[in-house]
């Protein structure tokens, strides 16, 4: 089973930027669509961004469109979430996830594999 490892979370000022990274542990290769989700305090998990197996197609939640960029470098087996112009409402635990298919999925239940989560805190 795929085991995902995340990094890059932290504390940042409103208007600042962070870059999250996600990769499977060991020698596992993820040749499938992937995505980022987040869970804010007291709220349910929500879709943030998704990317297809090749990185050729992406999808974003309306709340982050124009500010966040999802990408992947398949040669390095790594996915990224570049977060710019961060707002206090972006404060959440961010989760990397992988599907077992090729096309973008936006529903968490369609992602069998998840990372441990990384905390992003935006001060206002």
pLDDT of residue 72: 95
Taking CA atoms, 52 is separated from 11, 91, 98, in Å, by 29, 26, 10
Quick one: pLDDT at residue 75?
Answer: 78
Return d(Cα 5, Cα 102) in angstroms, integer.
20
pLDDT of residue 28: 81
The pLDDT assigned to 79 comes to 95
Other Cβ atoms within 10 Å of 61 Cβ, number: 16
Torsion of CA 13, 14, 16, 22, to 10 degrees: 90
Looking at residue 27, its pLDDT comes to 78
**In tens digits, what is the pLDDT along the chain, a chain of 124 residues?**
678 999 999 999 999 999 999 999 887 888 899 999 999 999 999 999 999 999 999 999 999 999 999 999 977 789 999 999 999 999 999 999 999 999 999 999 999 999 999 999 999 8
């Amino acid at each position: 089973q795929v085991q995902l490892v995340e990094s890059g979370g932290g504390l940042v000022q409103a208007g600042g930027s962070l870059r999250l990274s996600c990769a499977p542990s060991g020698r596992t290769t993820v040749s499938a669509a992937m995505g980022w989700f987040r869970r804010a305090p007291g709220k349910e998990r929500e879709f943030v961004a998704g990317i297809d197996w090749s990185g050729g197609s992406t999808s974003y939640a309306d709340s982050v469109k124009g500010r966040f960029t999802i990408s992947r470098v398949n040669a390095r087996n790594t996915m990224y979430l570049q977060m710019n112009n961060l707002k206090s409402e972006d404060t959440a635990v961010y989760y990397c996830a992988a599907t077992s298919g090729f096309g973008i999925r936006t529903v968490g239940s369609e992602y069998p594999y998840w990372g441990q989560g990384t905390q992003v805190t935006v001060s206002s």
